[in-house]
Structure 1
Amino acid sequence: ARTQQADALIGELQREHGGRLTVFLGAAPGVGKTYAMLSRARERLRQGMDVVAGVVETHGRSETAALLDGLPLLPRT
């Protein structure tokens, strides 16, 4: 009984504190995947969520690069 209770508690904690992965798909270059992803990241950051950007390729688009302002970035190694 204790093991079942512990398992149930662990499962509940994992559901409450687990991460979430969102995949942005597009059929062609330039359809707005990176822009949408960075816009969503900025929204989440404003909501107080932890957000970190890894490698972002802006493809020279100034609008996309502007969305990186204020986002924490992982250092490139």
Structure 2
Amino acid sequence: MQRQSPEQILKKLEVKAKEEEKNKLAKLKIFLGYAAGSGKTYAMLSEARTLRDNGVDVVLGYIEPHDRPETMALTQGFESIANLEIPYKNIVLKEFDLDATLKRKPALVLVDELAHTNAKG
């Protein structure tokens, strides 16, 4: 086996660094289901629990458990980003706090029920 030149070693290190940087790019995974109650949130939380148990820094950004006991149980043990509370007419709406999430810099953030009408303001 021929010894590598410093240039060859440097080239391999540069390629490896580019691959590692590429892996750091944000990824989006969407859990889809045909109807309410089909298990989207449950599946997302189950997968997140496995990742967290394997050392991934996972936080809950916004979860809507719809008072389903099984889903609510899966949220236990996760760090949660506080929701924004926005007064609207005679109610208070809860929204995902993007700024707080970006400040926290988790490896993975879970956002449920993203497709909804945002409160004005």
TM over 0.5: yes
CA distance in 2, matches of 1:47, 1:19: 19
Partner of 1:23: 30
Report deviation, 1:72.
Answer: 1.1
Report deviation, 1:63.
Answer: 0.5
Q: Which segments of structure 1 move beyond 4 Å, counting only runs of 4 or more?
A: 7-10
Q: Which of the numbers 12, 34, 55 marks the counterpart of 2:19?
A: 12
Report deviation, 1:75.
Answer: 0.9
Unaligned runs of 5+ in 1: none
Partner of 1:45: 52
Partner of 1:33: 40
Pick the structure with more strand per residue: 2
CA distance in 2, matches of 1:47, 1:20: 18
Report deviation, 1:70.
Answer: 0.5
Instruction: Note the aligned Cα RMSD (angstroms).
Output: 1.9
TM-score with structure 1 setting the length: 0.79
TM-score with structure 2 setting the length: 0.53
CA distance in 1, matches of 2:52, 2:16: 29
Larger Rg: 2
SS in 2 for 1:15: helix
Q: Does 1:75 align with 2:82?
A: yes
% of aligned pairs identical?
42
Report deviation, 1:56.
Answer: 0.6
